[in-house]
Structure 1
Amino acid sequence: MPVLSSVLAAAALACVEAPPDPTNTYDAPHTYAKLAREYPQIRIAGDALPDGVRKVADQVYAQHGVHCLKLDAYLPAGERLPAVVLVHGGGWKSGYRSEFVPMALRLAQQGFAAVTVSYRLSGEARYPAAVQDVQAAVRWLRAHADELHIDPQRIALAGGSAGGQIASLAGVGPGSGGEVKAIINIDGLSDFTSALALKYEDDPNKNPSAAGAWFGGRYADQAALWRAASPIQYVRAGMAPILFIGSAQPRFSAGREAMMEKMAQVGVASDQLVLPDTPHSFWLFDPWLQPTVDASVAFLRRHLR
């Protein structure tokens, strides 16, 4: 594979990734420790690079001050590959792009270029910074499609939890530009202003809640931002189709059914898979990752032809 441009190499030298934060514990090992007693059958999904898949690591796609934002691409053999950009979760305030490596590898084994991205968390920059970062990553991929053997006309977004909401908003909201052809929202909110979302995300006992920290205030104080960050606000004809994959915890996918209904009204395809008896963050673990991948592959093959 050709070495990416000297401009990118220079950018990598001029900035650094954010240093490790010991309070950022949204990852597979910490989540496993919380869930293993209730779900003793689970295992952390493997992240070993399989035969036939190459990793192009630590590509700088954006820079803010001295902070690099990086992505990793997992590439099968082939030309003009369909691509999936994977956006990690963590309540907008935590998480790592490594969260989606196991899913990226399994997508790559099915013929998709899979790209995991970092973005600015709420402690560094509030809404809409994370959404803008993901959109910047999509533009970077389109600009470097030839080097990565990606088809710039067949790019999808996917994400889990906060990453699912970010992926949806980045794909359909302001600045989306029609560059994303399909979206997979895994247990992420579609409507921050729904009663179910407000019950948890605007809980007065949380000071602030994860969403409140991202928006810089509670719903009563920042209602316009809570609405603007809700993907349901941007349903329109011609938008990208969405696959919703949910856990058995309805709070994390608040607004899903209402958004699917609005999409049907304007003739946009949607689909859903709800995995029974699952916790939030189910995609980090076997046996739940494989049905998540299987549904995603079937959906992407329909909509990234």
Structure 2
Amino acid sequence: MLKLIEDKPEVPANIKVSRDLVYKVTQEKTLKLDIYHLDSLDGERPLLVFIHGGSWKKGNKDDYRRYLVDYAQKGYVTATVAYRFSQEATFPAAFDDVVCAIKWLKSRAADYHIDPERVAVIGGSAGGHLAMMVGYHARDENYQGECATDETDAGVKAIVNLYGPVDLTTDFAINHPSVQQLIGMEYSGETKSAYKACSPITFITPDDPPTLTFHGTIDDIVPIVQADMLDEALRKENIASYYHRLDGWPHTMDLSLKINNYCQYYMDEFFQKHLE
């Protein structure tokens, strides 16, 4: 029988949690984030920002508590952010929100033991998509988001992508109701540019951060070919790509204890190399 992780573990007594910190107020909702770190933490530590999935239309910032607690125990500062769902505001709203959250965290780095120069974004599925959008596009000169007047650098040093979609102009994406809802229109020749602007692969350039990807070969939500395309695009631009193509595993495979342990092992190596 497949053993699953405890996805909502109790927070140990040695972990300090700052919950429901308001980082942005929009017409649709008030957006909040949580921060975890060792109560005894001294000095500045790398920040890991986790972005939950849910087809851009559901989910909760508490969904990744397993990772938040585990990586706080390992000495990192971890954060998890809420963002607007596609039924509330279409793209680029969710992307803008995550960028604003990162700027908020960096601007308050001294309050939470954060080293603003050592930040990684981690996301699964829709959250992986948003993490890659942040990593590949947030620092582009032609990106003018809702927090553009905040001159805090939104750049990150590393990306962890768990089975996220990278090209929304492909057949699987253009016919997917969740993608259509995210963009706010059906795909056509006239709307192709909107789908391209929502695709992380569009924005990959040689100065982008190293990327660690986990994707299962039998994923029936986000096809494995999406991860194949990402790895190829990154390597073409000489960006460090660490790609784990996990044979026989489906979407959200890291709910399995075996795969979660596997992912954390390689995430540990990745963060040690690119954040420490």
TM-score category, normalised to shorter length: 0.7 to 0.9
- Look up the match of 2:93: 129
How many angstroms apart in 1 are the aligned matches of 2:246 and 2:6? 17
- Look up the match of 1:63: 25
Residue pair 1:44, 1:285 contacting (<8 A) in 2 also: no
**1:53 maps to amino acid:** I
- Look up the match of 1:192: 168
**2:209 maps to amino acid:** A
The percentage of aligned residue pairs carrying the same residue is: 29
How many angstroms apart in 2 are the aligned matches of 1:268 and 1:178? 19
Residue pair 2:7, 2:63 contacting (<8 A) in 1 also: no
- Look up the match of 1:25: none
Q: How many residues align?
A: 259
**TM value normalised by structure 2:** 0.87
SS in 1 for 2:130: helix
Which of 242, 254, 262 is matched with 2:233 structurally? 262
Deviation at 1:277, TM superposition (A): 3.2
Deviation at 1:224, TM superposition (A): 1.0
How many angstroms apart in 2 are the aligned matches of 1:232 and 1:282? 23
How many angstroms apart in 2 are the aligned matches of 1:62 and 1:52? 29
Deviation at 1:52, TM superposition (A): 2.8
SS in 1 for 2:37: strand
Structure 1 stretches of 4+ with a deviation exceeding 6 A read none
**TM value normalised by structure 1:** 0.79
How many angstroms apart in 2 are the aligned matches of 1:175 and 1:69? 22
- Look up the match of 2:48: 84
SS in 1 for 2:119: strand
- Look up the match of 1:142: 106
| 1:211 partnered with 2:179 | yes
Which of 185, 197, 200 is matched with 1:231 structurally? 200
CA shift digits 1:131-180 (9 cap, x unpaired): 01000010011001000000000011110000000110011114565621
Residue pair 2:28, 2:89 contacting (<8 A) in 1 also: no
Residue pair 1:161, 1:187 contacting (<8 A) in 2 also: yes
**2:247 maps to amino acid:** P
Deviation at 1:51, TM superposition (A): 4.3
Deviation at 1:296, TM superposition (A): 1.3
How many angstroms apart in 2 are the aligned matches of 1:275 and 1:57? 34
Which of 250, 253, 261 is matched with 1:279 structurally? 250
Which of 258, 262, 270 is matched with 1:291 structurally? 262
CA shift digits 1:224-245 (9 cap, x unpaired): 1111111111111111111111
